[in-house]
Amino acid sequence: LIEIKIDLEQIKFMFGYSLGLMPAFLGTVFLSQIDRIMLSNYLGNFSAGIYSLSYNMSGVLSMIAMAIYNSWLPDYYKLMDNKEYVKHDKQLFLIIKILSFITCSLILFSGIIAKLISAEDFHSGLQLIPIIIFGIYISMLTPTFARHISYTKKTYLTSLVIILSGILNFTLNYYFIPLYGIYASAFTTLFCYIFQFLLMYLVVKKILKFYTTSLLKILMWSSPVVLCFVFSLIFSDSIY
């Protein structure tokens, strides 16, 4: 016979942990969609379509990054339980190197792919691609610290950071899209991802007072992406 037992304490923990993250998941969807919705409202569906094409090209990076982070999760918890922070950072920097290589490749070559698979009418918006990809890259660095918040079971803090980022993105888009058009949306989203990354770092370091990987070293291993991004902006006419 199969005996079924209900552990109320475990159920209570599961609900407390997951409910704290629900606003974060909703906020992530809001943050990724609000720019397209506002572009459609202010500039029309064609501009939103151009933006969506560029955004979809960067979706490859998100999928690869999340697959890597999820596969690393068991090792992460083991390292945190044993306080093996040096080994944690070594593995984290390897992940950042892989993501940096993929990001640089996308920034430099995704324009060619986009031209092959899209209609010529959409080519005018391909210069958005490096801006959006760079923003997605920054957002993929955020789990570096967001994972610590989940580890300490203070998931409501993750939701708070993402909600604040979503509000900031909405506000910036509201003011700048009418003034500067489609490029404003790309840059405001990039800015909000940087804001989210830094705020997550401050929450872990100052509020939770938990271990934080050196921000300087993360930026160091991200420097090739920054260089590729700047290069793509300077020579955008040649690349895209």
Residue that wins the pLDDT comparison between 114 and 145: 145
**pLDDT, position 24:** 62
Q: Could you tell me the pTM of the whole model?
A: 0.85
Q: For residues 134-169, b (16+ Cβ closer than 10 Å) or e, as one string?
A: bbbbbbbbbbbbbbbbbbeebbbbbbbbbbebbebb
**pLDDT, position 67:** 92
Residue that wins the pLDDT comparison between 170 and 118: 170
| Residues near 88 by beta carbon (within 8 Å), at least 6 away in sequence | 76, 79, 80, 213
Q: Are 58 and 126 in contact (CB under 8 A)?
A: no
